[in-house]
Amino acid sequence: MFVFDDLIDRDLQKDAAAVAERLVYFHNKTPVKGLLPIEQEANAQPWQGESDLPEIDAADLCIETLGSAMAHKGCLIVRNFLDTRSIEPLKIAIDRVMDEDIAAADHASSGEVRPTVFHNPPRNLSVFLPEPDLTWARGFHRDTGSVMTVESAGITEALAEWFSSLGFRDLLEAYLGEPACLSALKWVLRRTKFPIAENGWHQDGAFMGKQINSLNMWMPLDHCGGTSGAPGMDIIPFRFHDIVAAGTDDAVFNWSAGPESIERFQGDQAPVSPVFHPGDIFLFDHLLLHRTQFGHDFSRPRYAIETWFFGERNFPKNQIPMKW
Ligand SMILES: O=C(O)CCC(=O)C(=O)O
């Protein structure tokens, strides 16, 4: 279970040094391409479920169900995966990290920013994400209602320990076919900032690279999606084998796509906007086409943790890998 009160006693210096070490581990490493899960999917069992978007209960999560869902639909919802007693403490921690990150940006020029357990980035972050990219990444996250987990070494270490306790690692590494690592840029704490962009469709591989080994564990911390009143995700549950939608005419970024062009790529599979409950996780890789659920009638923000795991050998260097 994730316990908020445990954060207060964390050792700031020790956590910052531990996160710095996680970054240093990859300093001189270059990615090595191995056989990817997607290259071995021809023999995966057909997906047995009836819904467009595969879902199972946590009790049924195993390498066969994960492999089958990924091979045929490119994603999988796992219901009731987390102990829901962890949810509120995680949301309070996200509030603190996001609020202190915004305050740190406001006070940066005055040099008054003192480290706390919620705002304590490792000193060497700018070595691995040199300026101006670091400032740009921070601004992008603030503008879009998110913050890099690594901005708080204490939360980074607490979450890394908590993830290890979830019993997910063996399955993840069996799926990837190699040890897994984390990422400074793509391990993100989220609290919705409205309005939501209509042209946010993307495949993460458009900026991570197509030949990487990845699995994202997206963890919604609120009842969201569908008509629940808080944004979930719009998803095309289809196994894409390529980057099909990047930099279209109606896109904002060279890695994203707009709503009009999406109709060309979705084929027979219309987008779906599933309902998520706190405790669920959503697994997908860098080829899934998705966006934050778009709409004008949301009444609540949605909190989430987005954690991209990569292969420790086949990782996207531009996402700043970190040892797990
Ligand atoms: O949380 C969201 O709304 C978007 C998450 C996302 O795009 C991702 O995890 O790749």
Q: What is the pLDDT of residues 231-288, one digit of tens each?
A: 999 999 999 999 988 777 777 778 888 787 787 777 678 899 999 999 999 999 999 9
Ligand 1 environment, Cβ below 6 A: 190, 204, 216, 218, 233, 290, 292, 304, 306
H/E segment holding residue 70: helix 63-73
Atom 3 in ligand 1: residue holding the nearest Cα: 292
Q: How confident is the model at residue 111 (pLDDT cuts 50, 70, 90)?
A: low
**CA gap 79, 54 in Å, rounded:** 11
Percent of the chain with pLDDT over 70: 98
Pocket test for ligand 1, best of 196, 218, 284 (most atoms within 8 A of CB): 218
pTM assigned to the model: 0.95
How high is the mean pLDDT of the chain?
Answer: 93
Range of the domain at 114: 5-322
Pocket test for ligand 1, best of 233, 273, 300 (most atoms within 8 A of CB): 233
Rounded to an integer, the average pLDDT of 71-87 is: 97
The first and second tokens of residue 57, run together, are 């209960």
Domain of 279, CATH number, reads 2.60.120.620
Count of structural domains within the chain? 1
pLDDT of res. 256: 80
Determine the distance separating the centroid of ligand 1 and the alpha carbon of 292, expressed in angstroms. Answer: 6
User: CA–CA distance from 207 to each of 71, 91, 94, 203 (Å)?
Assistant: 22, 28, 26, 8
Q: How confident is the model at residue 294 (pLDDT cuts 50, 70, 90)?
A: very high
